Structure 1
């Protein structure tokens, strides 16, 4: 209970900051608050059980609720060209970022987290992928910081680029939804081009979120096959929380989730992810984090450029 109460306090502060500055994700605020708590020596052992519960069980429950954002008919309504664009952008960004990250010496799991965050949906995807890896909490914080940094840059630069390219509103919406990291960042970017761009961008962004389930399942299967004998080798191909995510997507698509439930579910999802990332942040040691700073920033820059250019090429060719 003490750890959960501290996590709840962290959530309250993070949500308040987000309410005052909507462009700042509560997830990023939570990570920073948690890191401050941990690095100031304010994490006694009595907090550990609750914080461990928050970074594990609450995180997985948040991933399950994330499925309520998605309805398959909305995704299919985008049309085959846009769906191909999303799949291609995710595949190229994920594989390219992961490959480059390992070449830069960041390690397999840290590179995997960064690749997931830039290709799918920012901090939420990073936290979900952390559930099937052996990464350190500092790696989670690094990846979250990178998607926040470069997503914020996209909010400023993409509208300028869209104007120079004379992209129609819906085409700009596809570009923003397929390339910007966080959902909130997509909204901030696309709304500069009007409601048509915003509506398209949100659906395209959530279509990227659909890719989270097969991506995690694929990584889990790969780790299961390469781990050899032992507990890791006996892990399920599809983790239970991913199966729950798919089940909620199915329920939403079948109309079994009333529209009146969606806002409370999204609030609960945000609270759960914020609590989990606050708890993860308390385990981060800034001195260790800085040791990989330059390589991580370089990887984030290349990944942001890759996802932006691949998505733009798709828009110009297919949309």
Structure 2
């Protein structure tokens, strides 16, 4: 009688080595995210996402830890920086309600769109003026004008930009967003800003959602309320900007393919994770999801983005940044000043 043997599960032999290769980096990212949330709980003024990037940079540059992040942990950290970033962007849509955005009024919406468009174009022009490469300039402009590292990750995916090229833009947008947390509250009183105007200014000019919250809450709940709505309106623009970038990239790829006689597969006009983001916005806007589900989604989104940002931060080598990032830093500071000025003008019109 033949001896029966259990057959291996389909794909088991392929996925197990992959998981073993990714596990060190993913576990490292999970520990770092836990540490970032712990510090944020003790010091609420420090956003957890900013802390995740800082911890990544420290891990990449401290003796001992640097060897780990560059060695066994690297595959998992790169996976987090790319794939967990996309999953976090999808869940970011659960924070955006179309009803809240429309509640600002059409004039405010047009002003916010104008600020984003002017910030994008101005930042790209400044970056090119400082002789940054076109790819870096595009990513910096996207991150500064829309929603920080999340927007950089989205644009990189749409344009099929290499993961390594997102490291410098993420470092710059994190640095300038952190700078805003300290600078904007200091100048609010000399400028004579009301809480509403300060909140609108913060939402219109600060890069990351967590940085907006950390900055606006210094002026109270009224400032925080309008800041979050204005900021999430900018976040909502991620979808059309990504779609336009995808369409442009597809046309360029088709032209190159036609010229070279290539039959390579064309990139999608709108990547699946951007579709997921729009779907989550639509789901949130229906009002069907109870508060508990929204809170759970927000927590998971923070965990995913925190792990992604730690992964990106762990690729930043300070020595290389000092040698190659001087021009980029000057461009980022000039862009930060431009966006702050544009946002302040819009804030007076929105809430003045």
1:81 pairs with 101, 107, 122, which one? 107
SS in structure 1 of the partner of residue 333 of structure 2: helix
2:324 pairs with 292, 298, 303, which one? 292
Q: What corresponds to 1:120 in structure 2?
A: 146
Which consecutive residues of structure 2, in runs of 5 or more, have no partner in the other structure? 1-22
1:278-300 CA deviation, whole Å, 9 max, x = no partner? 22333343333223322111111
Structure 1 stretches of 4+ with a deviation exceeding 4 A read 134-139, 230-233
Range with bigger deviation, 100-109 or 297-306 = 100-109
Q: What corresponds to 1:111 in structure 2?
A: 137
Preserved contact between residue 147 and residue 207 of structure 2 (Cα < 8 Å): yes
Distance in 1 (CA, whole Å) between partners of 2:166 and 2:37 is 20
The TM-score normalised by the length of structure 1 is 0.90
Q: CA deviation at 1:209?
A: 0.6
Q: What corresponds to 2:175 in structure 1?
A: 149
Question: Are residue 218 (structure 1) and residue 244 (structure 2) matched?
Answer: yes
Range with bigger deviation, 147-156 or 206-215 = 147-156
The TM-score normalised by the length of structure 2 is 0.82
CA RMSD of aligned residues (A): 2.4
Range with bigger deviation, 208-217 or 66-75 = 208-217
Question: Are residue 256 (structure 1) and residue 278 (structure 2) matched?
Answer: no
1:247-270 CA deviation, whole Å, 9 max, x = no partner? 000011011322211111111001
Q: CA deviation at 1:125?
A: 2.1
Q: CA deviation at 1:135?
A: 4.4
1:81-100 correspondence to structure 2 within 5 Å = 81-100=107-126
Range with bigger deviation, 29-38 or 289-298 = 29-38
2:211 pairs with 168, 180, 185, which one? 185
Question: Are residue 282 (structure 1) and residue 314 (structure 2) matched?
Answer: yes
Q: What corresponds to 1:247 in structure 2?
A: 279
Range with bigger deviation, 149-158 or 135-144 = 135-144
Which consecutive residues of structure 1, in runs of 5 or more, have no partner in the other structure? none
Question: Are residue 305 (structure 1) and residue 337 (structure 2) matched?
Answer: yes
Q: Tell which structure's C-alpha radius of gyration is larger.
A: 2
Distance in 1 (CA, whole Å) between partners of 2:342 and 2:301 is 30
Q: What corresponds to 2:46 in structure 1?
A: 24
Range with bigger deviation, 25-34 or 192-201 = 25-34
Distance in 1 (CA, whole Å) between partners of 2:166 and 2:150 is 11
Preserved contact between residue 143 and residue 173 of structure 2 (Cα < 8 Å): yes
Distance in 2 (CA, whole Å) between partners of 1:192 and 1:34 is 27
2:184 pairs with 151, 158, 172, which one? 158
Distance in 1 (CA, whole Å) between partners of 2:264 and 2:60 is 29
Question: Are residue 3 (structure 1) and residue 25 (structure 2) matched?
Answer: yes
Preserved contact between residue 109 and residue 133 of structure 1 (Cα < 8 Å): no
